[in-house]
Structure formats: structure tokens, C-alpha cells
Amino acid sequence: MTAPAPAPAPSATATATATATPTRPAEGGTASPASPVRGFALLGAVQMTLIFTLASLAVPLPRIGAELGLDRADLILLSAAYGLTFAGLLLFGGRIADRFGGRRALTAGLVVFGAASALAPLAPGYEALLTARFAQGVGAALVAPAGMAVLRALYPAPAAYGRAMATWGGLSVLGATAGNLLSGVISAVVSWRWSFAVPVVVALLALTLAPRLLPTTPATPGGRGLDLPGALLATGGITLASYGLVLTDAESWGSPAVLVPLLLGLLLLAGFGLVERRAADPLLPPGFLRDGRRAVGLAAVAISASGTASVFVLLSLALQQDRGWSALLTSGAFVPFAVVLVGSGRFAGPLIQRYGAGRTTAAGLGTGALGLALLAATGFDPATPYAYGLLPGLLLLPAGAALSFAGAGVLITDGVPPERAGLAGGVLNTAMELGPTVVFAAVLTLGSDGASLAATAAAFAALAVPALRSARTR
């Protein structure tokens, strides 16, 4: 299973600057010496880069395999390596951000992320490239939750922070979309090694501008512990379970290659749950997930990420393998998707302010469900014209995803105190990373691409009901 590749840093920065316009806080809410909009633009560019780095090797993977002499199993691990360490370490990364301060953790993560990204294109062989991808994920797991902790300090007023999160929620899916559009161009025009230039540039830019644009964030008063037992269990459990699910792309569910890491990962996660109940200062407080609105928001993030990722992967393969489209033409097919995503994202903030995060999330899930259903019904028939067969679904899905991500971001972070901002960031990004892995592995058992999207559409529609109910508990 693959995911989107990175877009150039100037485009990501410009997009984040544009979408951040509605998030300007009220007078007196500025927490840094510079404009908070510029700080938001910098953090947004970093967040987008983390997500589209997930699939920086997606399109050129066959070329990498031919150049380095890799088999299918090697390619699957190479594609998944970044996401495995990213998802596995996010909760611990959130604790580090809360414990030592968001900007300090952000700086450390950017150094690791940028250094690994600089070494990756120089890799002479498979082992060196795989190690660099794992290291990229380690850095990203520090950067993502730390970025949200700094965002909380950038917008200390609750109303301003809510508006910022309404925009922040859509940045990841926007970065993923940009990556899908550009991955074909990068692989066709230049070497696959150039895809690593984007995270290097963004990391250097962020390290240079952070002292001027971002506020310092203090360590948690009282010196909270790191909960190392919980961190080890969570990291091992998430990483092993995710690895087992990734292997379902090439192995059967009953094979030892899938069952051993999957069952061991679930066992470690069960142990994590037991340890957290008894820990004096747990990595993930049980009460954090018992909030109904927060649980709905996390589910919405997971299912929305799954829906968009499934469409990108399945439809891209169908267009190239069944219709014979080139990589460039396939990327062009998703241009309307990107345009609608950007446009819908700009309306998300005002809609949340007027109707609430729960209703906006429900509307997004319902719209996304309709888009997925249309794509499931028409998208995989080679005889179906693009204009009225594929395009309607490619317009409805991004409109729904933009609203769902934005509303869910507010639901997840509403009421979270500043000293837990890193935790919120770690949990949100974990849902975003694990959602596609779990759902994609599950729907692939249906055997049909159309049936897979139809099942995902049903999950969208089913989740819209509790999202709507959550609006009444505000």
C-alpha cells in the first residue's frame, strides 16, 4: 500500500499562508513577536511536508526496485518504513513535546527529519535507503505533535485556536493531494532521488525561521515523567500491528508473515492499556479518549484519511493498468480534486463557527460518502467516461473530506489544556496514520476495488450519525 508524495516547499508554504487567513486571532491574542499568520504558514508547510513524505516513493517504486534489484517484499517494506516509525512513535513524541516544550521538540525533530532526508538520496543500496526512511519517521513523530503544541501557544485565545484548528485539519489531506499530483511529474522528469529534496528544504527553512516566527513553549510544570514502559509498549504494538497489516498487500491473512507481527502487536497494545491504567502519569490518560466528541473526531480523521488514500491508490492503479493512462495523465485526473479541496477548506472555518464542529463534520462525512459511492459505482469500468463517470465523485469526495477533517480537528482539540497540546497532536496524527492502514487492509479482503470503496462509503455514512449527535453535547 502506498501513499502520496511531497510537493515543492514554495507551493506548500503558499497554500498554508492562504488557508491560514481566517485563523488570525483577535487583538491581544498574539503569542509571538511576529505575525501569527506567518507562524501558522510555517507550521502548516511543515505539517503538509510530513504527510506527503509518506509517499515520496509511491510512483517511482518500480524504478527503485529495478535500480536496486529489489523484490516485492523489499519494496513493500521500503514504502511502509517511514509510516511505521512515524505512527509508532507519535504518542511518545507528544509526551516529549509536552514535557520539554513544543518548540524545543520541534527543533530536535526537524534536525532528525532533515538529516535523514538529506542522506536518503545518497543511499548506495537498499539497506541505507531503508534506514533513512525509518529515521525520517522518527523525526516526523517528534515534529507533528510538537507543531500542534506550538500552534496552541501561537493562538492562546480559545476562539482563535478553534479557528486555527479548523484550517489545520485540512492541511494534511491537502499535502497528500499535492503529493499525488506531483509524484508522477517528479518520477517522469527527474530521478526519484530528487523527491527527498523537498523535506530537506522545508526542514532547513523551518529551522531558520522558527526562532523569529514561533513562540517559545515552556516545559510542563512539575517535570512530568516520560512513561517509558507505556512508550515502549505503544511504539512496539503500533509498529508491529501496522507492519502485519501492510503485509496483507502481498500475503494472505492466515500467513505467518501477517499473523505473527499482527498478533504480537495487538498483545503489546493490550499490555499498553493495562499499564496506562496503573501509571501515575500515563502516556495516554484513559479519560482522554472517553470524551464522546473527541472519540467521534478521531474516528472521522481515521475514516476520512482512509477514504482519500483508498481513492488515490485504487483509482490511480485502475487508470494506469486498466485504461493505459500515463503517470502524468493520471496525476492530471486529480487536479479537480485538489481545486475543490482548497476551495472547500476555505469555507470550513466559517461553517464551523456558524453551525458547530459536529454538524460540519457530519456534513463532510455525508458528502464524502456520496462521492465514494459514485466512484465505487462507475470509477472502475474502463468504458466509463471521465467527465460524467469519474469527475462527480472526484468533486464530492474532496469537498466532504475538507469539511470532515476541519470539523474533526476542532472536536479533538476542544477543551484540551495547553500542557496536553502535544498529546492531542500525537493522538490526532496517530489516527491519521493508522486509519488508512487498518481500513485499507480490511477492505482489500473484499476482493473488488469497487466493493472496497463502497464499504468505505458506508463507514463514512455510518459515522455521520454520531458526528451529528456530538453537536448536541457541546
Based on the fold, state whether residues 149 and 254 are members of the same structural domain: no
Residue 7, pLDDT above cutoff 50: no
Please give the pLDDT value at position 448: 67
Closest CA to 407 of 393, 427, 428: 428
CA-CA distance, 46 to 172, in Å (whole number)? 10
Domain boundary, last residue among 265, 282, 299: 282
Based on the fold, state whether residues 243 and 145 are members of the same structural domain: no
> Is 159 part of a structural domain of the chain?
yes
Which residue did the predictor score with more confidence, 316 or 87? 87
> Is 132 part of a structural domain of the chain?
yes
Confidence of residue 175 (pLDDT cuts 50, 70, 90): confident
pLDDT, average across residues 55-84: 81
pLDDT, average across residues 144-148: 93
Q: Which residue is associated with the grid cell 530536535? A: 108
Please give the pLDDT value at position 342: 83
Mean pLDDT of the chain: 83
- Domain, as residue range, for 174: 33-212+283-473
pLDDT, average across residues 88-101: 90
Based on the fold, state whether residues 99 and 203 are members of the same structural domain: yes
pLDDT, average across residues 316-343: 82
Percent share of the chain, pLDDT over 90: 31
**Please, where are the H alpha helices in 292-420?**
292-321, 327-333, 335-355, 357-378, 391-413
Based on the fold, state whether residues 250 and 311 are members of the same structural domain: no
Please give the pLDDT value at position 396: 95
Please give the pLDDT value at position 70: 85
Please give the pLDDT value at position 374: 92
pLDDT, average across residues 309-315: 81
Domain boundary, last residue among 263, 282, 301: 282
Please give the pLDDT value at position 367: 95
Closest CA to 50 of 237, 209, 198: 198
10, 140, 50, 12: CA torsion to nearest 10: -20
pLDDT, average across residues 407-413: 89
Based on the fold, state whether residues 273 and 293 are members of the same structural domain: no
Residue 358, pLDDT above cutoff 60: yes
Closest CA to 170 of 291, 63, 23: 23
Based on the fold, state whether residues 321 and 458 are members of the same structural domain: yes
> Is 407 part of a structural domain of the chain?
yes
Based on the fold, state whether residues 197 and 265 are members of the same structural domain: no
Percent share of the chain, pLDDT over 70: 88
Q: Which residue is associated with the grid cell 466528541? A: 293
Closest CA to 214 of 164, 144, 163, 152: 152
Based on the fold, state whether residues 70 and 188 are members of the same structural domain: yes
Confidence of residue 71 (pLDDT cuts 50, 70, 90): confident
Which residue did the predictor score with more confidence, 188 or 466? 466
pLDDT, average across residues 184-195: 80
How many residues are present in the chain? Answer: 474
8 A C-beta contact, residue 405 and residue 347: no
Identify the CATH number of the domain in which residue 410 sits.
1.20.1250.20
- Total domain count, the chain: 2
CB atoms within 10 A of CB 383: 7
> Is 457 part of a structural domain of the chain?
yes
> Is 2 part of a structural domain of the chain?
no
Which residue did the predictor score with more confidence, 378 or 268? 268
Based on the fold, state whether residues 145 and 247 are members of the same structural domain: no
pLDDT, average across residues 329-352: 86
pLDDT, average across residues 26-41: 61
pTM over 0.75: yes
8 A C-beta contact, residue 230 and residue 95: no
Residue 147, pLDDT above cutoff 90: yes
Residue 391, pLDDT above cutoff 60: yes
8 A C-beta contact, residue 439 and residue 310: yes
Confidence of residue 157 (pLDDT cuts 50, 70, 90): confident
8 A C-beta contact, residue 249 and residue 1: yes
Based on the fold, state whether residues 111 and 90 are members of the same structural domain: yes
- Three cell numbers, residue 266: 495487538
Residue 122, pLDDT above cutoff 90: yes
Please give the pLDDT value at position 447: 63
pLDDT, average across residues 437-461: 78
pLDDT, average across residues 104-112: 96
> Is 184 part of a structural domain of the chain?
yes
CA-CA distance, 235 to 247, in Å (whole number)? 18
Q: Picking from 12-16, 46-50, 214-218, which range would have the lowest pLDDT averaged per residue?
A: 12-16
Confidence of residue 360 (pLDDT cuts 50, 70, 90): very high
> Is 220 part of a structural domain of the chain?
no
Residue 416, pLDDT above cutoff 80: yes
Spatial neighbors of 14 by CB under 8 A, at least 6 apart, are none
Confidence of residue 15 (pLDDT cuts 50, 70, 90): very low
Based on the fold, state whether residues 124 and 242 are members of the same structural domain: no
- pLDDT tens string 248-274: 877 888 899 899 999 999 999 999 999
Confidence of residue 110 (pLDDT cuts 50, 70, 90): very high
Confidence of residue 437 (pLDDT cuts 50, 70, 90): confident
Residue 55, pLDDT above cutoff 60: yes
Based on the fold, state whether residues 66 and 123 are members of the same structural domain: yes
Residue 9, pLDDT above cutoff 70: no
Domain boundary, last residue among 249, 266, 282: 282
> Is 422 part of a structural domain of the chain?
yes
pLDDT, average across residues 45-53: 90
Residue 8, pLDDT above cutoff 50: no
**Backbone angles phi and psi of 381, in degrees to 5:** -95, 115
